């Protein structure tokens, strides 16, 4: 009888020289990256949550870059698979706020001062993600002037087509009458709502059976924006719960600054379609 002991099976590897679980994942480096500056117990929570968030963002960026490339090659099916994965990653990121929210105001106050001017606003990966989704902002490049390689990559992403831009280019190649000003524009500028495009996408939603792949892609994009906005909202509420209406460590107005981000949209026409579908016919003058 072995009780609660589970004996090792004969085939299990016991000599872990060479490539193994730890060395493959570089766990020495990964698990030594959490270096609290204070001796407060809860600073480890704060660091781990932010590290995990950055890792998830790294994977989202990897998937969205691939989706953009696939769309450029007219490979819509595999691109949709990438976007489906992105949604599941986003949901993991949303749930992480519940973990950070266990940090009370009095606990955070005991080590907040050691953070200096560190702020999530300074996350290069977050800025990359926003650029890839279409929230372009030239002014953000200067924030990373202290990291020339990062600033250069952000500049490349600023000037490259976003996920939405690439989708519209794909639609144009499929024969959809996408306005020329959307196809030939300066991609470093944020996309703004185009009424002609609203009409084109409304027609897709009015007849999904005959253009299901485009219809499905539109809904995948809406899912991604909706989930991204949910993440932003949970961020705001977590900050409000922990520091109230204090200024952020990076100098922002805190909750007010985060609240303004909720008004930003990546795919305005896809939301405008919701108003148009099923609306009474417009009266002619």
- As given in the structure block, the two tokens for residue 255 are 């909750």
Q: What is the pLDDT of residue 170?
A: 98
37-242+252-276 to CATH, choices 1.20.120.1200, 1.10.10.10, 1.20.58.480, 3.40.250.10: 1.20.58.480
Phi then psi dihedrals of residue 74, to 5 deg = 65, 25
Known binding-site residues for heme equal 235
In this prediction, residues 182-210 reach a mean pLDDT of 97
Within 13 A of 123's CA, how many CA atoms are on the CB side?
Answer: 18
Region 193-201: mean pLDDT is: 97
Higher pLDDT: 261 or 62? It is 62
pLDDT at site 8: 82
Question: Would you say the C-alpha torsion 255, 134, 205, 223 has a positive or negative sign?
Answer: negative
CA–CA separation, 128 vs 59, rounded Å?
12
Q: Which of 277, 184, 173, 179 is nearest to 222 (CA)?
A: 277
Residue 2: the pLDDT is: 56
List the one residue out of 114, 124, 174, 176 whose CA is nearest residue 145.
Answer: 124
Indicate the burial class of 110 (C-beta count within 10 angstroms; 0-12, 13-18, 19 or more).
middle
What are the pLDDT digits (tens) for 10-47? Answer: 887 888 899 999 999 999 999 999 999 999 999 999 99
- Could you tell me the end-to-end alpha-carbon distance of the chain, in angstroms, rounded to an integer? 90
The pLDDT of residue 195? 97
Binding-site annotation, residues for substrate: 46-50, 108, 112, 249
Annotated binding site: 46-50, 108, 112, 235, 249
Asked if 255 and 240 count as a contact pair (C-beta separation under 8 A), the reply is yes
**Domain range annotation of the chain:** 37-242+252-276
Please, what is the average pLDDT of the chain? 93
What is the pTM (predicted TM-score) of this model?
A: 0.92
| 3 state SS for 150-186 | HHHHHHHHHHCCCHHHHHHHHHHHCCCCCCHHHHCCC
Contact 248, 119 (CB under 8 A): yes
Q: Which tens digit of pLDDT belongs to each residue from 48-66?
A: 999 999 999 999 999 999 9
């Amino acid at each position: 009888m072995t009780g609660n002991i589970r004996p090792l099976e004969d085939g299990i590897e016991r000599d872990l020289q060479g490539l193994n679980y730890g060395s493959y994942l570089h766990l020495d480096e990964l698990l030594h990256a959490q270096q609290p500056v204070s001796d407060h117990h809860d600073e480890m929570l704060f660091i781990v949550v932010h590290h995990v968030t950055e890792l998830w963002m790294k994977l989202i960026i990897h998937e969205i870059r691939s989706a953009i490339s696939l769309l450029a090659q007219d490979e819509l099916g595999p691109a949709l698979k990438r976007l489906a994965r992105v949604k599941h990653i986003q949901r993991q990121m949303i749930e992480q706020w519940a973990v950070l929210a266990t940090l009370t105001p009095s606990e955070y106050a005991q080590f907040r001062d050691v953070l200096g001017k560190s702020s999530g606003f300074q996350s290069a990966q977050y800025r990359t993600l926003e650029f890839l989704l279409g929230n372009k902002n030239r002014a953000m490049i200067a924030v990373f002037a202290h990291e020339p390689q990062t600033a250069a990559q952000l500049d490349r992403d600023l000037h490259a087509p976003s996920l939405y831009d690439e989708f519209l280019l794909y639609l144009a190649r499929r024969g959809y009458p996408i306005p020329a000003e959307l196809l030939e524009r300066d991609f470093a500028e944020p996309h703004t709502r185009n009424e002609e495009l609203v009409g084109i996408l409304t027609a897709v939603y009015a007849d999904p059976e005959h253009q299901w792949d485009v219809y499905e892609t539109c809904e995948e994009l809406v899912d991604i924006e909706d989930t991204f906005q949910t993440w932003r909202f949970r961020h705001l509420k977590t900050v409000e719960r922990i520091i109230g209406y204090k200024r952020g460590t990076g100098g922002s107005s805190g909750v007010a600054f985060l609240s303004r981000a909720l008004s930003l949209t990546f795919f305005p026409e896809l939301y405008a379609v919701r108003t148009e579908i099923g609306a009474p016919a417009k009266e002619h003058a």
